[in-house]
Amino acid sequence: MRSVEWHAGRVRLIDQRLLPAEVRWLELETAEEVARAIREMAIRGAPAIGAAAAFGLALAARRSRSASRAGLLNDLRAAAETLRAARPTAVNLSWAVARLLRRAESEPDRAAIPAALLAEAQALADEDVAVNRRLGEHGAALVQDGDTILHHCNTGALATVDYGTALGVIRTAYEQGKRIHVLVDETRPRLQGARLTAWELQQLGIPFTLIADNAAGHFMRTGQVNLVLVGADRVAANGDVANKIGTYKLAVVAQANGIPFYPCVPTSTIDLATATGDDIPIEERPADEVTALTYRGRPIAPAGVTVANPAFDVTPHRYVTGIVTERGVVYPPFAAGLRRVVGG
């Protein structure tokens, strides 16, 4: 089941805000609606929002009223800015938008641009599925029979077009017959682990245990974790990794306990134009993501509290064992290895 697709002239996607209680599809008709869905996290996950943005530009091309090629290209550039601004940290979004714009600019015939962009967006989505399956094969080679894997956030079919990155590795290992168990971080404050990863693992029949975020260190120190697998929203040229908030502390504790730590990413998530993690913009999310949580029907925080809510953190490359891609596992020194797989 694809989390985002083109259907009857619209962009159709699963509204992830309602999971696991309800599976509901949204059908979006404009690039602005796609941008809103990305911004409000009806769809999330770096590869998934990249595909959604690509389809969003295809919508913009079909809906443009500009009769000239130049006018249509201006409409597409405006739509691209709207889509890029929806979530700044995940590089897949800007990568997909840039790819679609290049395709539009390469087409000399104004009338041919809408169909060309839809074909390009569909190709991008199809490639994402194939890439994830190859990534899963490379990553599964790191998983031993009987391993317990600690996983943070959501990196499955919901975070991609289909199959998944870090969860794709887990899925491949399970399909190979390896007896594995997954420790699933809740992933506060939006609880993507509890709401989405747990739901996906249930659908797949893969054994797992849901744990509080703050319990991860206990399980690592007591020898109950064999490796940590996470996704990423952007990998800098030096191997620094931006991922869902809480990833950095997992990497530090994993290294302190001799546990391998592997981000699993398609090469489209590697941003060679960003030198280090310090250069990656970190999205600040609304305060109510933290304060709207309740305990037994009552607010968890007093009214009027000041809230800081960064959506991501950066893990310096010194804590990263290796980076799993569809072109193999990159080990330190990362700068040369990342250039090789991106160029390959």
Whether 233 sits among the annotated catalytic residues: the reply is: yes
3-state secondary structure 1-12: CCCEEEECCEEE
Point out which residues pair with 26 in neighbouring strands: 13
**Crossing angle (nearest 10°) for helices 46-63 and 91-105:** 30
- Integer angstrom CA distances of residue 339 from 48, 130, 273: 24, 21, 11
Side chain identity, residue 7:
H
List the catalytic residue out of 213, 233, 240, 271.
Answer: 233
Q: How far apart are CA 267 and CA 141, in angstroms?
A: 19
3-state secondary structure of 190: coil
Is 206 in contact with 171 (CB distance < 8 Å)? yes
Q: Is 205 left (phi over 0), alpha (psi -120 to 50) or beta?
A: left
Q: CB under 8 Å to 259, separation ≥6 — which residues?
A: 150, 220, 225, 226, 227, 228
What residues act catalytically? Answer: 233
